[in-house]
Amino acid sequence: METKKEDKVITPKRKEGYRECSVYSIPGIGYKHYENISTYMAVNSIKYKNIEGICFVGDVHGEWKTLGYKAVEQYGLENYLIIQLGDFGIGFNSEEYNKIELKKLNSKLKKKNNQLVALRGNHDDKSYFTPEYSKSYSNINLVPDYTILEIEYERDVPDDGIQTTSGYMNILCIGGGLSIDRTERWKWKISKPGRNYYWDDEMPVYDELKLNEINKDYPNDIHVVATHTSPSFTFPFTKTGIHHWMMRDMQLRHDSEVERGAMDKIFHKLKENQENLSEWYYAHFHATQSITIEDVSFRLLDIYEFRSIVLK
């Protein structure tokens, strides 16, 4: 059977609005943190049918050829939904380059009936992650924050004969993260005009109103969360690894707490309403770790790391 995707967007009653709640002083950077104040936000959802497995992938940093090779040739994925957890690496090059390389990746995925979903990371241009942009590619979706992947599948059940049962899984996708080297990236952006290296809307956003809509529309029905960064109680537990960057960027410690704190709020909001939430996949920190907190298994994936869930 052919794996299919169906875009479905709930029509918003009101437009999204943001309040600028703080402006940070960073050498060379006008960094802004935004708080969502919308009274209603549309929940974007995509439905996938006839999926045989799901594969989560860590940062790829624009190496789309490597992503396609590993998925199709090295790991032999077929009829899979591949969820890339941010730092897809789009926005650094020209749109002409994007179209050529994404067309190649789309073709490779299509040959084995694989679908790719990518979240935004801190090394991505957020403006690409829209349903409109993804319409150009049959097997690639760059999804906006708070997108729900609705997965329907069938699997064989051992019995005297062969029986088939239907199943489903809902995955919540939320992108965004903090660039610890942003002061350097801003310098590159100034010294090398014509190419982007940094986006000041990179941070994850805790959108309570959108979470309320999700909890209303999917009561106890979110099974997995996919994000770029993660809550503060997951690995990494300390800031030891970014100490030298904090010496260059006096606001970095504070902003790293804002980043992880937003994910804390998302986790606690979901736990209030989603009893069936069991797994959380993330990337960003270039390591492999697993930990279980409050019956949720948190799994950190390294660069190019693949981790699969077989559904059949």
> Could you tell me which of 43, 52, 86, 54 has the C-alpha nearest to residue 279?
54
The per-type count for the chain, helices as H runs and strands as E runs, is: 7, 15
> Residue 33 above 60 pLDDT?
no
Token look-up 């736990």 returns 271
Instruction: Check which CATH number belongs to the domain holding 15 and give it.
Output: 3.60.21.10
Please write the tens of the pLDDT for every residue from 266-281. 999 999 999 999 999 9
> Residue 18 above 60 pLDDT?
no
Share of the chain above pLDDT 90, in %: 75
Residue 45: which domain range? Answer: 4-310
pLDDT for the residue numbered 74? 97
pLDDT for the residue numbered 189? 80
Share of the chain above pLDDT 70, in %: 83
Please write the tens of the pLDDT for every residue from 47-76. 999 899 999 999 999 999 999 999 999 999
Report how many domains make up the chain: 1
**Whole-prediction pTM:** 0.87
Please write the tens of the pLDDT for every residue from 175-186. 999 999 999 998
What DSSP state is assigned to residue 12?
A: P
For residue 17, the SS3 value is coil
| Mean pLDDT for the stretch of residues 73-89 | 97
Q: Strand 289-293 vs strand 296-300: parallel, antiparallel, or unpaired? A: antiparallel
Please write the tens of the pLDDT for every residue from 244-260. 999 999 999 999 999 99
pLDDT for the residue numbered 193? 78
Q: Strand 224-227 vs strand 163-174: parallel, antiparallel, or unpaired? A: parallel
Q: Which residues of 116-146 are buried (b: 16+ CB within 10 A; e: fewer)?
A: bbbbbbbbbbbebbebebbeebebbbbbbbb
Least confident of 134-143, 164-173, 230-239: 164-173
Query: Which residue did the predictor score with more confidence, 33 or 181?
Result: 181
- Rounded Cα distance between 135 and 139, Å, is 9
pLDDT for the residue numbered 137? 97
* Residue 51: both structure tokens together: 């999926």
